[in-house]
Chain A
Amino acid sequence: MNRILKYDLISLITYASLVTFGIINVYSSSYTELFTSIFDYTSLVSKQLIFLAISLISAIIIIFTKSKFFDNIASIAYLLSLILLTSLFFFGVERGGAKSWYILGPVSFQPSEFAKLCTALFLAKFLSIIQTDLNKTRDIIFVGIIVFIPILLITFQPDPGSAIVFLAFIFPILREGLDLRFFYFGIIILLILILTLIFNFFISSIILSAIFLLIILYRRRKRISLNLIKSFISLIFLISISLSTNYLFENILEQRHRDRINLILGKEVDDKGIGYNINQSKIAISNGGLFGTGFLEGTQTKGDFVPRQHTDYIFSTIGEEWGFIGTFTTIILFSLLITRITFRAEKQVNHFRRIYCYSFSSLLFIHFFINIGMSIGLVPSVGIPLPYISYGGSSLLAFSIMFFVYLNFDSSRLKED
């Protein structure tokens, strides 16, 4: 009994609920009684079940592995994942416009999913080295490199959606001592970008100058010392970011990315073209009402109106068939899992394990935020799955492994090594 109790049962139950709910919804969104097509949707669920079985076998192996083992293999795993990502350019198979798959017989496999796990392990390893100091520029740059190599490799597949997910590592890095000013700085730049996109360069620079003026006046009044030259330089810097926004927007991003951002900012409405996905997803979700249409009864789901509904847009199936009850429960389950893992991470004595757990909850958070956010039209459309729920063997397996590694680490949280 004690052996079971040492595991985080709350997280385990949450995980089990999400996975079960996921299977149900994959079944429903690929379910068909009359629709015959070249895709054999019914086998999607069986494929997902096979991957679930593999996940559970891995789980048993992971649970009975010594925690120290993961510390030891972190560097090799990271290296291996980089090799796998690199060889995609040579041996990868293109699907949906991105060369992000290996296909071995009946099994297809997406290395970017496992790169998340490996990067988390290696980042934890590096940050937990006693000499690492996040106040040193050299270490900051090294940490940046660890995260940015997989980001670059994945971006050039091209699968920028999966690459964005790696921004999650900002949370463990901050947690481990990176100056918060980096975070604020990032937030400010993001706000300036959005401001410039919504209005234009002139209005946003006027707003910036006004805020700047207010801060100076405030400080003068409170007689707080102020380096005017420094402040002025930072204002110029911020305005130049605003100035370069349009250039970045028009030249770095592709048209589809611009469209997605414009849709969310409300600058464009096109329910039949670029806005089709989001619009159909919203229709399906509102169709659900409070109690939903019922399992296998969603008309939008059955009619296959929402593209990629069993993968990226599975939340719309939940919304339609299980209604507000279903979506509310899903959100509560996710936030429970994320906060639970984060809290437990704080209780880790071992730094490596703490940083890993923190990275894991951050990855979960980013997926949760982006996937559900785009399904309900709050975040620009980014093609990433909802962990444990979306169809996709690699994602399910990778996130399951990450979860059971967490469970393993958590059970030995009080051990030094």
Chain B
Amino acid sequence: MLKKYLLIWLTISVSFIFIMRLASLQLSDDSYFNSDFAIQELSVYPERGLIYDRNGNLLVANQPSYELIIVPENTTEFDTISFAKLIDMNPDELKKEINSSIKYSTKLPSVIKSQISKERNAFLQEKIWLFEGFYLRKNSVRDYIKPFASNVIGYTGEVDKNDIINNSYYEKGEMIGKQGIEKYYEDELKGIKGKKYFQKDRFNRVIGPFNNSLSDVKPSKAKNITLTIDIDLQEYAESLLQNKRGGVVAIEPSTGEILTLVSSPTYKSEQFVGQDRTKNYNKLLNDSINKPLFDRSLQAQYSPGSPIKILNALIGLQEGVINENTIFTCNAGHYYSRNAFMGCHNPFGTVSNLRKGIYNSCNTYFARTYRGIIDKYGTSSEGLDKWATHMKSFGLGNYLGYDLSIGKKGFIPESDYYNQFYGTNRWGSSTTISNSIGQGEILTTPIQMANFATAIANRGFYIKPHFVKSVNNKLMNNREKNYTTIDKENFEIVIDGMVDVVDRGTARIAKIDGISVAGKTGTVENFILIKNEKKQLTDHSTFIAFAPADDPKIAVSVFIENGYWGSRWAAPIASLIIEKYLKGDVGRKWLENRMVNGSLIDEYEKPYKFENFSINE
């Protein structure tokens, strides 16, 4: 019996085993391989979004560029040296690139050299056919039309390993915004890439579209962005800051729109496009003295200096420790504690009320006011924390939340800080007296200073400053008012004092015909460490202002490193920017020339000459 049915039993069992095996191959979800090697996926990129300034001037567009591609398995032996010469590349670097592309895949295309210009491409196209396995592929790179506001616009670059790990959207060789608006609005600017599918054969050759292109995904269009920046004003401000270090921030108070944001010295976005981009980047990165990649308006934390007196005045009014008629006497300074004297530039016996205190920038007046605030409560801790709360309501001591990904918090000291430093309750208003004049532990960035100027201009609130007005012509919804802890009525007297600063006080040079400017100068002591020795440098020159005082259209903060008096550099620059913005043109050409041509390079080189130098000349 077994003999008769042996073959039949075998046939049935073999068929059963085959069917089981096929079921597991064909019917299970984890099919043998999910990826289909026969289909090549090709990304189709939409043109990156355009960037305009607030008045519709095109700032950033795109231009064609070419990449040199290698498919390693298609290459034949070739003269590396002459090829390297042809494509203008170091032979060792070329070998490295080729080896890494072989490692990646011998069958898939890899980029050997990217961002080859149109002209260079025309030249290469004639020669490249001599080298099998290489070809040129067209793509698109950024075209920065106006060479200004680079610190705001930022730049793009090839994705790095982290970008790919963090976001599966990106693949090797693609571009991503690396800095500025290009980075923060990457999602809007990049659009969504599409896919094209091709049928391949086993030699990895494309033999035609897959599924009659029905599976292809169309790229979705990138969005265009309109900045709040006024590119003419930006250009003007940048010209004023040449050969100086520092920052300028101008904000429209009613909207929080940033009109101008200058950091000097800076880079140009187009340095990140084209053949020399890596060289340029390294040069910028390694310039540890000028730090062009460091945005001084957003990232530099300075002592604010005298402008902080305005806030102390407002807090004093709010807390009721002073009123507009409060009088303090200044004897070229005062003893705020036994054997502790704070100097002041006001002459001996100056009697100041609040307005005069502001326009003469009297240290004594605000030291006394500050002590009044701190000592008002049971303990210094309580008083200081109250003071800090007021300060922070102006956007100090924390990130402002604007739409760029760099920034610094600044610092507003609270009781914890001093408790840790001196021991709990072993400090008082006199210990922290420097805060009253913006010289102590308190730190601010130029944009924070412009922002509190805005809050004063608005009489008690600010709108989160921002750089983008609209995306695809759709206005951004970012006009929420952040109210300060100071009542509206307390602002007028202080603003009167600020107007006096320009009219008859420390910043008379900032006066503009026909426009009432409210401002406050600052002269900030600062130090650096040279060979572990603390050394004082020439004071920073700073100024905050807004105008017109009764209906502010622009608020400005200017910070010029080592510029000495606030009225020497910062106040004139702020004044010129206001005049340019409000009048469209500047009448005071003599002042403009002095600012544009003035240079502080010598001042900056002093500490690096390794010899004794004098400051505040």
A residues with a Cβ closer than 8 A to B are 33-35, 171, 174-175, 180, 183, 280, 282-283, 285-290, 299-300, 302-305, 307, 319, 323-324, 327-328, 331-332, 334-335, 338-339, 342-343, 346, 358, 361-362, 365, 368-369, 372-373, 376, 378
Contact = CB atoms under 8 A, between A and B. Distances in A.
Nearest to A335: B15
Contacts of B8: 338-339, 342-343
B570 to A, nearest CB: 68
13 contacts: A183-B6, A285-B32, A299-B36, A299-B210, A300-B36, A302-B38, A303-B38, A303-B202, A305-B37, A338-B7, A339-B12, A373-B14, A378-B17
A299 B38 contact: yes
Contacts of A358: 7
B200 interface: yes
A332 B6 CA distance: 18
Contact of A180 (B2, B10, B32): B2
Contacts of A335: 11-12, 14-15
B33 interface: yes
A374 to B, nearest CB: 11
B26 A323 contact: yes
B11 A300 contact: no
Interface of A is mostly: helix
A303 B14 contact: no
A171 B7 CA distance: 7
B37 A328 contact: no
A283 B2 CA distance: 38
Nearest to A289: B26
B291 to A, nearest CB: 51
Contacts of A376: 18, 21-22, 25
A331 B207 contact: no
B201 interface: yes
Given A299-B39, A300-B38, A324-B27, A285 B22 contact: yes
A33 B199 CA distance: 12
Contacts of B476: none
Contacts, number: 121
B19 interface: yes
A34 B208 contact: yes
B31 interface: yes
A300 B36 CA distance: 8
Ranked nearest first, the 7 interchain pairs of A and B with the lowest CB-CB distance are A286-B32, A303-B38, A299-B38, A286-B31, A335-B15, A324-B26, A305-B202
A264 to B, nearest CB: 13
Given A290-B26, A369-B10, 11 more contacts: A174-B3, A175-B6, A289-B26, A299-B36, A300-B38, A303-B38, A307-B202, A319-B26, A365-B10, A376-B22, A378-B17
Given A171-B7, A303-B199, A342-B8, A290 B27 contact: yes
A35 B27 contact: no
Given A175-B3, A302-B38, A361-B7, A289 B31 contact: yes
B207 A302 contact: yes
Contacts of A323: 26
B2 A346 contact: no
B340 interface: no
A338 B37 CA distance: 36
Interface size band for B:
20 to 34
B19 to A, nearest CB: 6
A288 B2 contact: no
B15 A331 contact: yes
Given A324-B22, A369-B14, A300 B37 contact: yes
Interface string B277-310: 0000000000000000000000000000000000
Nearest to A299: B38
A174 B25 CA distance: 35
A368 B14 contact: yes
Contacts of B12: 335, 339
B85 interface: no
Nearest to A358: B7
Nearest to B30: A286
A287 B7 contact: no
A334 B25 contact: no
Contacts of A35: 201, 207
A346 B22 contact: no
B130 to A, nearest CB: 25
Nearest to B23: A324
B5 to A, nearest CB: 8
B534 interface: no
B18 A372 contact: yes
A327 B25 CA distance: 11
Contacts of A305: 37-38, 201-202
B161 interface: no
Nearest to B10: A365
Nearest to A302: B199
Nearest to A276: B202
Given A33-B208, A283-B33, A305-B37, A346 B26 contact: no
Interface string B140-174: 00000000000000000000000000000000000
Contacts of A332: 15
B22 A287 contact: no
A299 B32 CA distance: 15
Nearest to B12: A335
A368 B12 CA distance: 12
B31 A342 contact: no
B609 interface: no
A81 to B, nearest CB: 24
